[in-house]
Amino acid sequence: MIKYLLALTLFFNINYAFAKLSIGLSSTYTNINDPIFNYVDKPNFSLSVGSTANYNDYLFTVSTNRLLNQVNKFTVKNNNNLRFRNENKIITDTLQIGLKRQFTPTVFLSNVSIKKKLYFNDNLEGLEKKTSWVYGIGLLHFFNESSNVNLNLIMPNTELDLEGGFSVGVNYLL
């Protein structure tokens, strides 16, 4: 997937002079329904880079958080109320398309990869990697030509035990 995103980014930047490098900061809240563990839901902060282009009143953005990603650490409980430390790293590669207006409605498709490590008393008990496609809808508000704020609604995904979620972010176009 990263190869396709890089190819799209280069395509936009080489073929369209109006394509701009974008940097974004977002906070994502998801509702996870894991069959074994009870997650204490908390926001996941992410920094992404990508490319944004306008073409015939349409906005195209390709982005990834692969370059600047963090490991999220939190406590989970199993069905016997034993506490475990969960560390996960979420990698997203996203294509977002919208109708360019001051308030821009968008749709997005993300390839999401989650790597989980589970610790009990500081001993590694489990390792899991899941990858799936996640999609949703969003709304961007442009403050000016170089900055916007966005709100996205994330649809459920059974492969990732995801019941849904939302994200809020800001983007700056260079």
Alpha carbon 109 to chain centroid distance?
10
59 half-sphere exposure, CB direction, 13 A CA radius: 24
What is the model's pTM?
Answer: 0.85
Residue 35: per-residue pLDDT = 76
CB 4 within 8 A of CB 130: no
User: Which ranges in 16-158 belong to alpha helices (H)?
Assistant: none
CATH of the domain at 162: 2.40.160.20
Is there a contact between 52 and 19 (Cβ–Cβ < 8 Å)?
Answer: yes
Q: Which domain holds residue 82?
A: 2-173
The segments of the chain whose pLDDT lies below 70 read: 1-18, 40-41
C-alpha to C-alpha distance for 101 and 114, rounded to whole angstroms: 33
Count of domains in the chain? Answer: 1
Q: What is the pLDDT, as a whole number, of residue 42?
A: 72
CA atoms within 13 A on the CB side of 4: 7
Predicted pLDDT of residue 4:
62
Question: How much is the pLDDT for 103?
Answer: 93
